[in-house]
Amino acid sequence: MEAGGAAASRLHRGLLPSTGAALTIGFTGPPGAGKSTLIDAFVAELRKSGRTVAIAAVDPSSPLSGGAVLGDRVRMGRHTEDTGVFIRSIASRGHLGGLSESIQQIADVLDAGGRDVIVIETVGAGQSEVEIVEVADVRIVVNAPGLGDDVQAIKAGILEIANILVVNKADLPLAARTVRQLRSMLSLRRESDRDVPVIETVASSGQGVDELLRAVLKLVPRTPAEREARRRARLHRLVAEAAAAEVRGRIMGRTDQAVLDALRQVEAGELSADEAARAVLKLCRDECDRVPPLAAYDTRVERNEPVT
């Protein structure tokens, strides 16, 4: 799944009917907040109830090999002998948003593999890590004491996506002030969005982790209809992302005169970028009407034959 390509696409298509049972929990937050240590303690709490867990830890890419740095595995070492816990470090490969481009497909593999809970940890890049909302059923934003002034806490876009807010390292000075900042931020939301618990934890000792697990379990979809709606929404986003990538690839690969004319008109101020995009998309759509049916395309891909 990380490599992508036709083989990964066929595999993903085949395993999708076996997905939808696992609960996906996303941990995000700024660097140094203690996400990995908190996940280690959280997984230990999950294992007490017999739940199997898969951890997908998205790490920064190595500048030399392009692979994951593997820092998270070091902090979760106590689970390495537990067959009920699977840990995989995944390189971000320069993908923005705190995740990797293939994270949704990887989560589906772990789901189809029979894990009860999938934990996804983002890179830890700061306020822009909001892509986790597209993947996880429950989003936990981990903070550390001393976020900055009140305005900084309020404007941090990453906090907007939280189902649960955690102040980790709550035994340090300024922890109570950080809790107040977060609750102040919540008071400025619409009334329907204010019901977000703020939980204090000390991951190194396990303090507050049981309370965090209880808060997570309250957010688990209870009925088959709720689970199906959650799964359908995620698949909807997955198809939309695939469509966006396909359209971007087609447009970036075009250098024909019609596209060059559209670019010239944008440069001259005769068209806006939005208007030019619609014009180029119409060209692509008209060409799509002249290509072979999808069934023929799929057959050639299965035989690994070139498709123009």
Helix (H, G, I), strand (E, B) or coil at 149: coil
Residue 83, in any domain of the structure: yes
Tokens of residue 211, six digits: 């309370």
Percent over 90 (pLDDT), the chain: 24
Tokens of residue 20, six digits: 């939808």
Q: What's the predicted TM-score (pTM) here?
A: 0.74
Same domain? 158 vs 282: no
Same domain? 148 vs 183: yes
Residue listed under structure tokens 């982790």 = 209
Q: What is the pLDDT of residue 301?
A: 47
Which residue has better confidence, 264 or 286?
264
If you average pLDDT over residues 10-15, what whole number do you get? 89
Residue 229, in any domain of the structure: yes
Q: How far is 272 from 263, CA to CA, in rounded Å? A: 10
Give the model's confidence band at 98: pLDDT under 50 very low, under 70 low, under 90 confident, else very high.
very low
| Per-chain mean pLDDT for the chain | 79
Nearest to 145 by CA among 122, 184, 177: 177
Residues 201 and 207 sit within 8 Å (Cβ to Cβ): yes
Tokens of residue 98, six digits: 């705190």
Phi, psi of 139 (to 5 degrees): -110, 125
Same domain? 190 vs 50: yes
Q: What is the pLDDT of residue 77?
A: 67
Q: What is the pLDDT of residue 186?
A: 83
Same domain? 76 vs 12: yes
Enclosing domain of residue 125: 6-220
Same domain? 185 vs 160: yes
Tokens of residue 223, six digits: 């009925």
pLDDT at 72 over 70: no
Number of domains in the chain: 2
Which residue type sits at 262? A
pLDDT at 3 over 90: no
Residue listed under structure tokens 């929990």 = 25
Q: What is the pLDDT of residue 256?
A: 86
CA distances from 224 to 52, 230, 235 (A): 21, 10, 16
- 241-277, pLDDT tens digit by residue? 778 878 888 888 888 888 899 899 999 989 899 998 8
Same domain? 116 vs 258: no
